[in-house]
Amino acid sequence: MAYPKILTIQDISCVGQCSLTVALPIISACGVETCILPSAILSTHTAGFSGFTFHDLTDDMPAIREHWEKENIKFDGIYTGYLGSIKQIDYVINIIKTLNKADAKAIIDPAMADNGKLYPLFDQKYVNAMKGLCAIADYVVPNITEACFLTDTEYKTEYDRAYIDCIVEKLIALGAKNVILTGVSYRQGYTGIVVFENGEYKYYEHEFLPNSCHGTGDIYASAFTGALVRGKTAFEAAKIAADYTVECIRQTAEEENHWYGAKFEPALKLLTQML
């Protein structure tokens, strides 16, 4: 694949280093043509800012898909992030089924929950709709909280390999072909990524940094997508994305007032070097 073309579908938070403002530059830096379908436009993201503006683009999505289909525009992969409604999820499923090339990949980040809780405005109906999207995923990229909601599993902060194996098996049973499970920690001071591809389990452990940053899930999923489409194996892509995300968090920790996102731009050189 000499010059792959990826479509990423998620919102634009104009300020805040998340969603499309993260996905577009990171995947582009991987040497991949990056097309976008904004699901909404917000003045900022919703974590920590108040009085933000919001413009819903749900009703524009079918017409955009129809135009692309008319122009015979197809993609080598589709990567989804935050989707704001069940209606958007239904539209995205249709887009994946009609605009992905036969050998293309669907990479689904079910961005809906963290730390044992759903994001505001999401409920069980939304979770059920997201299960349908994950069922057609070639790679599903949840954190443990999202994986628990998708598999109706009790969320735990202390667990063993058997607990993680059970979650992965349930995600595969849901329909996802392969699983990239983030934030899996088996010992204090470290966390890591579980990669389950073609029936094979691998684990990559890395340093756990205590400072949290908004948008790191978007950074990780975007870097994983870029590396995967560039021809890396799932495990290689997962490792690259983890190392890159850790570096973004480390650089952000050096700036006391940078609370609203992670400084991913200064570390882009590292990402391209790893590729």
What type of residue is 155? Answer: Y
Can you tell me whether residue 37 is helix, strand or coil? Answer: strand
Phi, psi of 104 (to 5 degrees): -75, 165
Domain coverage including residue 195: 5-274
CA pair distance 5, 104, nearest whole angstrom: 10
Which of these, 222, 213, 251, lies nearest to 19 by C-alpha position? 222
User: Do the beta carbons of residue 42 and residue 26 sit within 8 Å?
Assistant: no
- Which CATH number does the domain housing residue 268 bear? 3.40.1190.20
Token pair belonging to 177: 């072909």
Reduced to 3 states, what is the DSSP secondary structure of residue 78? Answer: strand
The predicted-structure confidence for 100-121, as pLDDT tens digits, reads as follows: 999 999 999 999 999 999 998 8
- List 255's β-bridge partners, or say none: none
Percent of the chain with pLDDT over 70: 100
| Residue 1 in this model has a pLDDT that exceeds 70 | no
pLDDT 10s digits, 172-231 = 999 999 999 999 999 999 999 999 999 999 999 998 988 778 889 999 999 999 999 999
How many domains, in total, are found in the chain? 1
